[in-house]
C-alpha cells in the first residue's frame, strides 16, 4: 500500500480504480513553406482560430449545465483571447515573414505569450498562462485534426492527471467520474470548482502521482487530505464504512427541505445562495435556499465580446427575479477588475490589481456604463424581489454618489414611461475602511453583506490568489472575526440587517459564533445550504458556547 498526500478539495471518501489521464501531445514540424503556400497557411490558421472560438462557446454552454455560470465564465475569456489582435498578428507574422506552417506559428506565438504571463508577479496574470496553453491546444487540435475529447475511458474511475485544463475538465463524462487527483492545481482551480459542484472528493497538489497507478485501486480520504493506493483490507473496510455513513447523512439532509433555519432556542436566520447567473437558479430551488444573497452580475460582462446593452442585462436580471419571486435576489453591481478582466473595457494592467481600478471605482468613473446596469436592475425589479448591492465601497461619499446616480436612473425611467420596481440598497463590506466607517455607511443603506474573501485578504495583507501564501492564510484570524463583529454591531445600531456572502458563511465551525454575533443572513454555495441548515438547527443560543 502506498499513501500519498495533497490538498483536499472536499471532505468525503471516494473508492475506485485509477484512470491515468494523459494530455494530448502534438508533433510540430519546423519545416518552412514556399511563397505560394503562405496564403494557404494563413487561411488554415484563420479557419482553425474561428473553429476554436466555436469550441469555446460550446464548452461554455456545457460548463453552464455541469457547474454553473461562474465556472463557465473562463470559456468566454478563452473566446476573447482567441480574438486578441496581438496574438493573432504574432501568428500571422511568423507565417508571413518566417514562412513556417500554421501549426509551428501557433505553437511559437502562443508559447511566447504564455511565457510572458507565467513570469509576471501578479498571481492572476500568471494563471492566464494556463489559459493561453489551453486555447493553443484547441487551435492545434483543429489544425492537426485531433480529437481532444475525453480520454477517461468507458468505466467509472478516479481520474489521475498532472493537471486538468478547463476544457479538459468540462469534456469529462461526469457519470463516470468518482473522484480526482492532480499533481498541480489549487483549491480555487477549475478542477476544484467542478469537484465541489459535483460533491466529488478530490486532491490537488499531490506531487507523488505516477503513471504506474493506472488500473490500481485507490481510496481518496478527503477528511485527511490523502489517498491510499492498493489499500489493505482493514483500511478499505473502515473507509467504506465511513463512506456509507456519509451517504446516509446526505440522504438525511434531503429531509431538511422545507424546514426553517431556526436554532433550538427559536432564533431564525436567513440562508441564501451565491450564484453566478440565471443558469444557477435551478440549484437554488433544488437546495431549498431562501433566496439569493449574491448574484454575481459579472457573468453578463464576461460572456459578451462588447459591453452588454441595457436590454441584454434587463433580460438576464428579469429571468432570475421572476423565476425566484417572491424570494429576495440580491444582485451585486459590476465587479470587473482585479481577477476578472474583459478586453472591451480596455483596463490597464496594474502592479497590484486587487488594490486597483476595480468594481465601484470603475462604475463611478464611467457613469454611462454604470447607468446602463442600474437602469436594467430597476426595470427588472418590477418583476420580483430585487436588491442592489454595491461592491468595494470604502466611504460614505462613494455610497451617497451611487445612490444619487440610482435616483437619476429611476427618475429618467419614470419620465420615459418605463415600469420600475422598489429595491433595497446595500453594500459589500469587504475592506477595513468599510468596517471602520460602518456607522456612517449604515445611515444610508438597507443592509450590509460581508465579503469575507476580500476582507480577509485586505486585513491580513495576503493575496488570496497566491498559492504560495496558503500556509500563512488564516481565515479564522481574530482580526477578521473582530471586524465581522464590529460590522454587525454597527449595522444593528442603525436598524439594518447584516449578512455574510463570502466563503466563511459555509464554514460550519464558525456558524454558532456568527449567530452569537447577531448575523441575520448567511449566503453560501447552493450545495452548502442544507448542511448549514442542519448546523443551525442543532445550535442552542440560550446555553453558553462550548469552547
Among 255, 248, 327, smallest CA distance to 292 is for 327
Pairing mode, strands 217-221 and 226-229: antiparallel
Distance, in Å, from the CA atom of 245 to the CA atom of 132, rounded to the nearest integer, reads: 43
Question: Considering only CA atoms, which of 256, 257, 279, 261 is closest in space to residue 271?
Answer: 261
* Distance in angstroms (rounded) separating the CA atoms of residues 374 and 381: 11
- Cα distance between residue 429 and residue 450, in whole Å: 5
Residue 388, H or E segment: strand 385-390
Strand 270-275 with 521-524, pairing: parallel
The helix/strand/coil state of 488 is: helix
**DSSP output for 292-314:** EEEEETHHHHHT-SSPPPHHHHH
335 appears as a binding residue in the annotation? no
Q: 42: which 3 cell numbers?
A: 494563413
- 60, 78, 100, 190: the active-site residue: 190
- Containing H/E element for 482? helix 478-493
Contact 209, 4 (CB under 8 A): yes
How does DSSP assign 162-180, residue by residue?
A: S---HHHHHHS-GGGEEEE
> Which residue blocks in 18-121 are alpha helix, DSSP H?
35-67, 69-81, 85-98, 102-118
User: Do residues 529 and 547 touch, judged by C-beta distance below 8 A?
Assistant: no
Give yes or no for a cis peptide into 451 (omega within 30° of 0): no
Q: Is 454 annotated as a binding residue?
A: yes
Phi, psi of 388 (to 5 degrees): -110, 135
Q: What are 499's strand-pairing partners?
A: 449, 521
Instruction: Provide the β-strand partners of residue 228.
Output: 3, 219
Closest CA to 32 of 123, 131, 108: 108
Q: At what angle do helices 233-254 and 529-537 cross, to 10 degrees?
A: 80
Q: What is the distance between the alpha carbons of residues 135 and 82, in angstroms, rounded to a whole number?
A: 7
The annotation status of 464 as a binding-site residue, yes or no, is yes
- Is 332 marked as binding a ligand? yes
Q: Is 216 a residue of the active site?
A: no
What's the CA gap between 99 and 111, in Å, rounded?
18
C-alpha cell belonging to residue 349? 494592467
Does residue 445 have an active-site annotation?
no
Question: Residue 287 — φ and ψ, nearest 5°?
Answer: -100, 5
Is 430 one of the annotated binding-site residues?
Answer: yes
SS3 328: strand
Q: Check 206, 437, 445, 501 and give the catalytic one.
A: 501
Compute the distance between CA of residue 465 and CA of residue 454 in angstroms, rounded to an integer: 11
Q: In what order do the strands lie in the sheet with 226-229?
A: 2-5, 226-229, 217-221, 13-20, 157-161, 177-182, 202-204, 7-8
Known binding positions for phosphoenolpyruvate: 296, 332, 453-454, 464
Known binding positions: 296, 332, 430, 453-454, 464
Known binding positions for Mg(2+): 430, 454
Instruction: Give the active site residues.
Output: 190, 501
Amino acid at each position: 500500500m502506498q499513501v500519498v498526500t495533497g490538498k483536499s478539495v472536499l471532505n468525503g471518501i471516494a473508492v475506485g480504480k485509477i484512470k491515468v489521464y494523459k494530455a494530448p501531445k502534438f508533433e510540430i514540424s519546423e519545416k518552412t513553406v514556399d511563397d505560394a503556400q503562405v496564403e494557404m497557411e494563413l487561411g488554415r490558421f484563420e479557419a482553425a482560430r474561428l473553429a476554436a472560438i466555436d469550441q469555446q462557446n460550446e464548452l461554455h454552454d456545457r460548463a453552464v449545465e455541469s457547474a454553473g455560470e461562474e465556472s463557465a465564465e473562463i470559456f468566454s475569456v478563452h473566446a476573447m483571447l482567441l480574438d486578441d489582435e496581438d496574438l493573432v498578428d504574432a501568428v500571422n507574422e511568423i507565417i508571413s515573414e518566417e514562412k513556417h506552417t500554421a501549426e509551428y506559428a501557433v505553437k511559437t506565438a502562443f508559447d511566447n505569450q504564455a511565457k510572458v504571463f507565467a513570469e509576471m508577479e501578479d498571481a492572476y496574470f500568471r494563471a492566464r498562462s494556463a489559459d493561453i496553453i489551453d486555447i493553443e491546444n484547441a487551435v492545434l487540435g483543429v489544425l492537426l485534426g485531433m480529437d481532444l475529447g475525453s480520454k477517461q475511458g468507458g468505466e467509472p474511475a478516479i481520474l489521475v492527471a498532472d493537471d486538468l485544463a478547463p476544457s479538459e475538465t468540462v469534456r469529462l463524462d461526469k457519470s463516470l467520474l468518482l473522484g480526482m487527483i492532480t499533481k498541480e492545481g489549487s483549491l480555487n482551480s477549475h478542477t476544484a470548482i467542478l469537484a465541489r459542484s459535483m460533491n466529488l472528493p478530490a486532491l490537488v497538489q499531490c506531487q507523488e502521482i505516477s503513471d504506474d497507478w493506472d488500473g490500481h485501486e485507490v481510496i481518496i480520504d478527503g477528511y485527511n487530505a490523502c489517498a491510499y493506493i492498493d489499500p489493505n483490507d482493514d483500511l478499505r473496510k473502515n473507509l467504506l464504512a465511513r463512506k456509507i455513513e456519509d451517504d446516509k447523512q446526505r440522504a438525511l439532509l434531503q429531509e431538511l427541505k422545507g424546514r426553517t433555519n431556526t436554532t433550538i432556542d427559536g432564533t431564525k436566520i436567513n440562508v441564501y445562495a451565491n450564484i453566478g447567473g440565471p443558469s444557477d437558479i435551478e440549484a437554488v430551488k433544488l437546495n431549498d435556499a431562501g433566496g439569493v444573497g449574491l448574484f454575481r452580475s459579472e457573468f453578463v460582462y464576461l460572456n459578451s465580446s462588447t459591453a452588454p446593452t441595457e436590454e441584454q442585462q434587463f433580460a438576464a436580471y428579469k429571468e432570475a427575479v421572476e423565476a425566484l419571486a417572491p424570494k429576495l435576489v440580491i444582485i451585486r453591481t459590476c465587479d470587473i477588475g482585479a481577477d476578472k478582466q474583459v478586453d472591451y473595457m480596455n483596463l490597464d494592467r496594474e502592479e497590484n490589481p486587487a488594490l486597483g481600478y476595480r468594481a465601484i471605482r470603475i462604475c463611478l468613473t464611467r457613469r454611462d456604463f454604470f447607468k446602463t446596469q442600474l437602469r436594467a436592475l430597476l426595470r427588472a425589479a418590477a418583476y420580483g424581489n430585487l436588491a442592489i448591492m454595491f461592491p468595494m465601497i470604502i466611504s460614505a461619499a462613494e455610497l451617497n454618489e451611487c445612490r444619487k446616480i440610482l435616483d437619476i436612473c429611476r427618475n429618467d425611467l419614470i419620465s420615459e414611461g418605463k415600469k420600475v420596481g422598489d429595491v433595497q440598497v446595500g453594500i459589500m463590506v469587504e475592506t477595513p475602511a468599510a468596517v471602520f466607517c460602518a456607522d456612517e455607511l449604515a445611515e444610508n443603506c438597507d443592509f450590509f453583506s460581508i465579503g469575507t474573501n476580500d476582507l480577509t485578504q485586505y486585513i491580513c495583507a495576503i493575496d488570496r490568489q497566491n498559492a504560495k501564501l496558503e500556509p500563512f492564510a488564516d481565515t479564522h484570524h481574530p482580526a477578521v472575526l473582530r471586524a465581522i463583529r464590529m460590522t454587525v454591531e454597527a449595522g444593528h445600531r442603525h436598524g439594518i440587517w447584516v449578512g455574510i456572502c463570502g466563503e466563511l458563511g459555509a464554514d460550519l465551525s464558525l456558524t454558532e459564533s456568527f449567530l452569537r454575533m447577531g448575523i441575520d443572513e448567511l449566503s453560501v454555495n447552493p450545495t452548502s445550504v442544507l448542511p448549514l441548515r442542519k448546523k443551525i438547527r442543532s445550535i442552542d443560543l440560550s446555553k453558553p458556547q462550548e469552547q
